[in-house]
Structure 1
C-alpha cells in the first residue's frame, strides 16, 4: 500500500487504467457479470478512501484514528467550543465584575483593600493557567485537562453559594448607608476566599487549555483551515465578551437586586450546561497527544548550553544535531541566528551518523527544534513585558472603574443601573470593533499591506495598546469633572453620596477598553498559539494569562505604594475610601503615562521580530 501526502496508508487501485464505473461487458451481453459488479463496488470504496484527506499535524479523532479533515474538527466543532466558552464566561463574569462591590458592601472591606483583593485574585487566576498548560502538555492532554478544570470551577462556585446560604457563614449585617460597618473576618471570610481561589484554579487552568484545544481543531498545514483559524480567534473573543455581557447585566442585576445566593446559583447552572455542551461535541473534535514536559525540555537547553559554554559554534551550522524524522515529537523548526549561545546545546563534535538517539543524553545534547523552542521564549520576552503593563491598565475596569461608577448618578428613567454593569459598554466595544475590523477594515488595509489579515498579529496588538492609553485619558478627564461637581455641591466629605453626574459619562472609557481588547487580546491569542513551536504551545498560550496575572499584581502594588505615598495625616491620598475627597484622576494620569511609555517600548522591540519558519515533517513514532 502507498502513502498519501499526509503519511497515511491508502489502498492501491488494481491498475492505473481501471476507474470506478468502468465495466467490461461480454459481446452480446445486456448486463454486467456479478464479478464485474463486485469489482465496481470494490473500486468505488477504494476511490472514496483515496479521497480522504488527513490532517498534517498528527491529530486523531475520539477513536484514536488519524483525523480526517472532512469529518472532524474545523468549523464542525465550532458550535461546541464557542458555546462552551460562552456559558463559562457568563458564570465567571457574574462573579468577577461584582466582586469589588461584594467585598465593600457585603463584607465591608475598605476601597483600597478591596481593589487589591480583586487584583490579587485575578492575578492568581491567571497564574494557575501556567500550571494547567503544563499538566495538559505533559500528562493528560488538553481535552481532559479542560474537563477537569470545569469540575473544579463548579466546586468553587458551590462554596460561594454555601457562604450566602448558611447563617454561620453569611457576612455581618449592616445598615444600608454602610457607615460604621464591621469588616467580615474569621471563618466567614476564610470560606469565601477558599471558594474564590478554587474558582481561580478551575478557570485559570481552563483558559489556556481550552483556547489551544479550540485552535487544535484547525490544521495550519491546510490552505483553507489556516485562514479559518484566524477567524476562530476573532470569534472566540467576541463570544467571550458576549458571555460577559450576560454575566455583567442579568447575573449582576440579580445579585444586587435579588440576592447573591441566586446570582451564584445561576452561575453554577451555566457551568453545568457548559459541561454537557463540551462533552456532546466529543465526536467532532480533533485531539493532540501530550508531547512531554515543555518546561524540562527548555531547561535542558539552558543546562546543555551552559555545560558547553567554551565550545565554539561553527558558522555553517552543519554540526548542529536534529532528531531523525521518525523520532520527532513535532514538526522541525529551522535554525535561526538569534541567541547563538543556545546553539551550543545542539552542537556536536562527531558526525550525525554516529549518534545513537536512544543513548543520547538530552541534558548534554539537544535537538535544533528543542533549542528553537527555548529561543522563542527569549524572543517574545519584550512582547510579554509590554502585555504586563497593558494588563495593569486593563484590570482597572474590575476595580477602580466600578468604584468610580458607584459614586455617580445611576438612574435611567425608573431603572437603576448597577455600577458593575457598566462593563456592558466594554463588551459593546469588543463586538463593534471586532465586526468592523473583520468586515470593513481588513479588506481595505489588505490592499495597502498585502497581508491576508490586513494587519499582522503584532500590529494588531499595537493598536490595542494605543487605545488603552486613550481610555485612561478619558477616565482621568471624567474623574476631574466628577470631583469638581462633588466640590461644588459640598459632597467631598460624604462617603456614600452620589455626585449629580450621569454614570453614562463613563461610556467612552469603557468602550475604549473594549476596543483595545478587541485588538490586543484577539491578536495575542493568535500570536502566542500560532508562533509557538508545537511542543510548547500550551505553555506559550498560558503566557498571555500570566502577563495579565503579573499586571494585576503590579496594579495592586501600585495602589498600595501610591496610597502610602500620597496619604498625609487626615488626607487619605489619591485612592481614598471617600472617593469624593481623593484624587483618583491623578492615578489615571499616572496610568496613562505608563501606557504611553509601554507603547513606545513595544514598537521599538517588535519591529525586529521575525516570524517563525518550519519544515513540515510527519512524526510516525512520537515519543
Structure 2
C-alpha cells in the first residue's frame, strides 16, 4: 500500500515537472517585471483585471478632457472659434499619431508594460498642469465674456499659451503611447497553449470593450457635469485623479504580469521591403511598347515582380 502511494506521488511529481517544462517551452519569451522567465503563477484573468482598471480610468480621464476642451479653449483661453476648433482636432489627431510611437517603443525597446507605466505618468503630468493653469488666474488671460464681445477678450499668448500647449500635448503624448498597449498587454496575459486561458481570451476582449464603454459613459456624464458646475480646474483635477487610480491599478499588477520581450519593430520589415524593392527595381523593368494585345502579359509580369520582391524582402 505504501509503495503504491509512493508511486502515485512520483507520477504526480513527474506530471507537474512535465507541465512546467511544457510551459517553459511555450512561454520562454515571457518574463516577469524583473526580466526573469515567467511561470504559471503569472498571467491569467487576475493579471488582466489590473490592465482593465487602467483602461477604464484612462479613457475616463482623457474623454472628459477631450469632450469639454473646446469650451475651455474659448471661454478661458479666449481663442476664436475657428482656432479653438483647430486646437481640439489637432489634439485628437496627435493622440492617434503618437499611437504609432507607443507601438514602436513597445515592440522595439520597452515592452508594453514599461511603455504604459512611463507614458501613463507623462499623461498624468499633463492633467495636473492643465488643472494648475485652470486654477491660477496668473496663467490665464483676464476674464471676459467672449459670447458678448469677442474683440474685448485678450487671447492667451506668450508664456500662458506655451504653458497650455505644453500641458495639452503632454496629455496627447501620454495617452497616445498608452492606448495601443493596453489591449495588447491584457491579451498577453492569456496563453494560447493552455486551453482554459485561450477560452478566456475572447471573454477578456468583451470585458475590455465594456471597461472602455463604462469609462466613456462616466466621463460624458459625471465628469462633464463636474466640469460644468464646479469649474474646469476641478474637472481637470478629477481627470488627474482618474489617471492616478488607473496607474495604481497597473502598478498593483506588476507582480502578476507576463511581459513579452521587445522584438524588432514592425517598421523593420517595411524598411527592408522598401530597400529591397529599390535595389531590385531593374529586374522588374521592361522596355517594350504597351499594346492592347500585351496588357494581360504586362499585368501578369508586374504581379510576378511584386510577389518576388515581397518574398525576398521578408527573407532578408
Partner of 1:395: none
Using the alignment, how far apart are the partners of 1:115 and 1:58 within structure 2?
49
Distance in 1 (CA, whole Å) between partners of 2:269 and 2:248 is 36
User: Structure 1 unaligned runs (5+)?
Assistant: 1-21, 26-35, 313-337, 348-364, 371-623
2:86 to 116, 121, 129: 116
Q: Which residue of 1 is the match for residue 114 of structure 2?
A: 144
Per the alignment, residue 3 of structure 2 pairs with 24
Give the alignment partner of residue 77 of structure 1, picking from 42, 47, 53: 47
The Cα of 1:113 is off from its aligned counterpart by 2.3
Tell me, yes or no, if structure 1 residue 159 matches structure 2 residue 129: yes
Q: Report matched runs for 1:330-345 at 5 Å.
A: 341=306, 343-344=308-309
Deviation sequence 1:2-29 (CA, Å, 0-9, x none)? xxxxxxxxxxxxxxxxxxxx7438xxxx
Judge conservation of contact 1:304–1:366 (CA < 8 Å) in 2: no
Q: Does 1:278 align with 2:250?
A: yes
Which position in structure 2 is the counterpart of 1:319? Answer: none
CA–CA separation in structure 1 for the residues paired with 2:63 and 2:81? 20
The alpha-carbon deviation at position 67 of structure 1 amounts to: 4.2
- Contact 1:58–1:288 (8 Å) recurs in 2: no
Separation (CA, whole Å) in 1 of partners of 2:86 and 2:201 = 37
Q: Which position in structure 2 is the counterpart of 1:301?
A: 273
Offset at 1:273? 1.7
Return the structure number with greater relative CO, CA threshold 8 A, min gap 6.
2
Is residue 172 of structure 2 the alignment partner of residue 200 of structure 1? yes
Conservation of the 8 A alpha-carbon contact between 2:74 and 2:146: no
- Which of 10, 17, 20 aligns to 1:49? It is 17
SS of 1:91 mapped into structure 2: helix
User: Pick from 199, 204, 215: which aligns with 1:243?
Assistant: 215
Contact preservation (8 Å) 1:80, 1:280: yes
Secondary structure at the aligned position of 1:174 is classed as coil
| 2:159 aligned partner | 187
Does the CA-based 8 Å contact 2:102-2:178 persist in structure 1?
Answer: yes
> In 2 relative to 1, CA 41–226 (structure 1 residues): closer, same or farther, beyond 3 Å?
closer
The 1:196–1:65 alpha-carbon spacing in structure 2 relative to 1, beyond 3 Å, is same
Q: CA deviation at 1:288?
A: 0.7
Paired with 1:221 and 1:112, the residues of 2 have a C-alpha distance of 54
Q: Structure 1 343/175 Cα, relative in aligned 2: closer, same or farther at 3 Å? A: same
- Report 1:373-392 matches (<5 A): none
Contact 1:91–1:271 (8 Å) recurs in 2: yes
Superposed, 1:457-496 pairs within 5 Å as none
| C-alpha RMSD over aligned residues | 2.7
Judging by fraction of residues, say which structure has more helix.
2
1:353-378, CA deviations, whole angstroms, 9 ceiling, x for partnerless residues?
xxxxxxxxxxxx742xx7xxxxxxxx
CA distance in 2, matches of 1:230, 1:183: 50
Deviation of 1:306 (Å): 2.8
User: What are the Cα deviations for residues 173-209 of structure 1, in whole angstroms up to 9, with x where unaligned?
Assistant: 0148543333333322221111000111000000112
Aligned counterpart, 1:125: 95
Superposed, which structure 2 residues align to 1:152-551 within 5 Å? 152-175=122-145, 177-180=147-150, 181-311=153-283, 341=306, 343-344=308-309, 346-347=311-312, 366-367=314-315
**In 2 relative to 1, CA 177–292 (structure 1 residues): closer, same or farther, beyond 3 Å?**
closer
Q: Distance in 1 between matches of 2:314 and 2:60?
A: 45
Is 2:57–2:245's contact at 8 Å kept on the other side of the alignment? yes
Structure-1-length-normalised TM-score: 0.43
Report matched runs for 1:76-115 at 5 Å.
76-115=46-85
Kept after mapping to 2: 8 A contact 1:128/1:205: yes
- The structural deviation recorded for 1:292 is 1.6
Q: Is the 8 A contact 1:61 1:286 kept in 2?
A: yes
Shift of 1:41: 4.5
Q: CA deviation at 1:78?
A: 2.6
- Alignment match, 2:288: none
Structure 2 unaligned blocks of 5 or more:
285-302
Superposition deviation, residue 342 in structure 1: 5.0
What is the deviation of 1:309?
A: 3.5
Distance 2:121 2:304 in 1: 42
Q: CA deviation at 1:136?
A: 1.0
With over 3 angstroms needed to count, the CA separation of the structure-2 counterparts of 1:242 and 1:345, relative to structure 1, is closer
Distance in 1 of aligned mates of 2:165 and 2:187: 33
Q: For residues 463-505 of structure 1, what are the alpha-carbon distances to aligned partners after superposition, in whole Å with 9 as ceiling and x for unaligned? A: xxxxxxxxxxxxxxxxxxxxxxxxxxxxxxxxxxxxxxxxxxx
Q: How many Å separate the matches in 1 of 2:148 and 2:17?
A: 72
C-alpha separation in 2, matches of 1:301 and 1:215: 29
Aligned length: 292
